[in-house]
Amino acid sequence: MNQKNSLGLNQCFLDLDNPIELFKIWMDEAKKTEPNDPNALSLATSNKDNIPSVRMVLLKEFNQNGFVFYTNLNSQKGNELKENPKAAMCFHWKSLLRQIRISGTVTQVEDDVADQYYNSRGYESRIGAWASKQSMQLSSRDELMNSIKEVKKKYNDQNKVPRPSHWSGWNLYPSSIEFWLDGHNRIHERLKYTMDKNGSWIKSLLSP
C-alpha cells in the first residue's frame, strides 16, 4: 500500500509548509538519478510586447530568497528581463517522473555575488563571456573563433580575467511553486504553493 501525506498525495510531497525545503529535497534526489544536469531548467520570458520565448539554462544557486542563473545581460533573455521582469521556470526530471514550475519576479544579483560565481568558472568559460555577443547575428563561425583568440591575447593570465559588466546573474523571487508527479492514466498529482500578500505560503491541490 502506497503511503500518502496528509493531503492524500504521494509521500514524496511530504507535509512541508515551505516549498523551498521541498524543492531542495527533490533536487537532491534528482542529482542521484538524472544522467546529467539535474539543475537544467526551461526559462520562459517575454518582451514588452508580450511575445514569449523559452530556452534551457542552468540553476546555479537557490535559497529562501530565490533561484539564480547567469547570462549575458545583452542577450535576448537579458533584454527581455530588463523590459519585463516577470519569468517562469520549469524543471523536469524524467528519471523521477517529476516536474516543478516556478513563477515570479526577477532582479539582478549584486556585483559581488556575480563576481564570486564568475571567478569560480573555468578560464575558457570566462573568456567566452567576453568573446560572445550572445544572441547577436554572426557573419560566420570564424568571427566568433577570432574573437575568442583576441580575448585570450588580452587576458592571457588565467587568474586575471575580470567579469564583463554585461555578464551577471538574475534572481527569480517566486510567487508560486508547483510540484507535479506523473500518475497512472494521466491522473497526475499536483501541489501548488502560492505566496500571499503577507509573504506566507498557501498550499492548494490542483486537478490533473
3-class DSSP state for residue 194?
Answer: strand
Interior CA angle at 186 toward 182 and 187, to 5°? Answer: 80
Question: How many CA atoms, within 13 angstroms, populate the side-chain half-sphere of residue 81?
Answer: 26
Instruction: Give me the catalytic one of 98, 101, 121, 186.
Output: 186
Contact present, 23 and 100 (Cβ < 8 Å): yes
- Distance (Å, whole) CA 76 – CA 135: 6
The C-alpha cell at 22 is: 521541498
The C-alpha cell at 36 is: 546529467
Whether 186 is catalytic is: yes
Name the residue type at position 143.
E
Beta-ladder partners of 180: 99, 190
Active site residues: 186
